Amino acid sequence: MTRLLIAGGGHSDVPLIQAARNLGWTVATAGNRPNEPGHRYSHLFLHCDYSDPQAVLAAARQFRADAVCACCNDFSAVSCAFVAAQLQLPGHDSPEICGIIHHKDRWRQFSRQVGLPGPRAVGCTDVSGVTAAVTELGLPVIVKPVDLTGGKGIQTAHTLDAAIAAAQAALAASRAGRIVVEEFVTGTRHGLTCMLQGQQVVFSFADDEYYHLSPYRVSAASSITSCTPETLAEVLQAVQHTATQLQLQDGIFHLQFIRRSDGRPAILDVCRRAPGDLYVDLVRHATTVPYAELIVKAAAGLPFYIPRTLPPQRCITRHCLMADHCGILQEIQFDAEIEPRIFDRTIWGKPGEPVTDPGLQKFGIVFVDHGSVQQLRSEAPRLQQLLRCHVT
């Protein structure tokens, strides 16, 4: 029986925990928030900061883990790569390769070296490099901490003064003390997730992304994607090239990209852990592929199987329930035509709960079946209005 340590325990990690338990494994979860919902589904909770590799190593030793799996967070992925190297566990890239994947400046440097499609970028360790970066890239620019996810710490700057101010804030937010300044790229936003096996892409799934108050924090994702086969082929070619160049281990590879007006992709961020907000369930519902199970099997160094023939993808959206402004949550109101087509839901928001950061706070996640591509294209961009968090 496999003893799996999942370094996390948030609501998005529940499918991973359940998948491992359904395989008959003993599962421990680790984190510094004991009330996270995922810990209720594991056999054992271990209190530690999963962003601290040494703390996760101690937890793995205490649990006598023979496999580790990252939660839906880059810090967890970095810690798990470190633990796997220290304990000689399978299923993970080396810490060096993990650092290239999960630190934005190192990923941009690698992308440039091997010719992957992406925005031009300059890495900086202090604000003195920002002026040169803006001169090279032109305005506007995007300023990002290299080690945060979910849109945290990202700003668009239209002037040099704004870029310097954004850099100061991003440097303060970055644990690594590094930022990346990128050219501003426009187009439609998408995600692509895939499974690697023998450094080959054996399964892939693409989506269309939607945003709420922040242009950097995804609030919904839909299948079937509007991307053309040509755009997806170029993205997959980039993944394939990355897998062989870095000799990546079997398992998940996830990325976000922009499709420019000419159809060419610009790859933004990449990771080798499950995406958040129950994205693994979006893949499962849309394709029937048990994505969470594949991820935990790969993290444990075990083989996984992808059916040769899959049914047609469903036209569905995973939507995060979020408010438009600060105040007190009164109720969550579902449009009468949409509600019957919500086929899966996880709602934790309760009336009377304060809304202090509407751009970040989520009160639940629902999955909507649109029934057709035409209805999907019409409804998905409007779900924020059709599924409202009423706040006063």
pLDDT score of 294 more than 80 = yes
- DSSP for 304-317 reads ----SS-PPPP-EE
Domains of the chain: 3-94 (3.40.50.20), 120-183 (3.30.1490.20), 315-392 (3.30.470.20)
Q: What is the percentage of the chain residues whose pLDDT exceeds 70?
A: 100
- d(C-alpha 352, C-alpha 340), whole Å: 26
pLDDT at 144: 95
pLDDT at 82: 98
Reported as a single tens digit per residue, the pLDDT across 172-214 is: 999 999 999 999 999 999 999 999 999 999 999 999 999 998 8
Residue 130 CB: number of other CB atoms within 10 A?
25
Q: How confident is the model at residue 152 (pLDDT cuts 50, 70, 90)?
A: confident
For the residues 361-374, what does the mean pLDDT come to?
97
- Residues 6 or more apart in contact with residue 312 via CB below 8 angstroms: none
pLDDT score of 390 more than 90 = yes
Reported as a single tens digit per residue, the pLDDT across 273-286 is: 999 999 999 999 99
- d(C-alpha 2, C-alpha 125), whole Å: 42
Per-chain mean pLDDT for the chain: 96
pLDDT at 169: 95
pLDDT at 150: 78
Q: How confident is the model at residue 253 (pLDDT cuts 50, 70, 90)?
A: very high
Q: How confident is the model at residue 1 (pLDDT cuts 50, 70, 90)?
A: low
Q: Assign 116 to helix, strand or coil.
A: coil
Pairing of β 26-31 and β 44-47: parallel
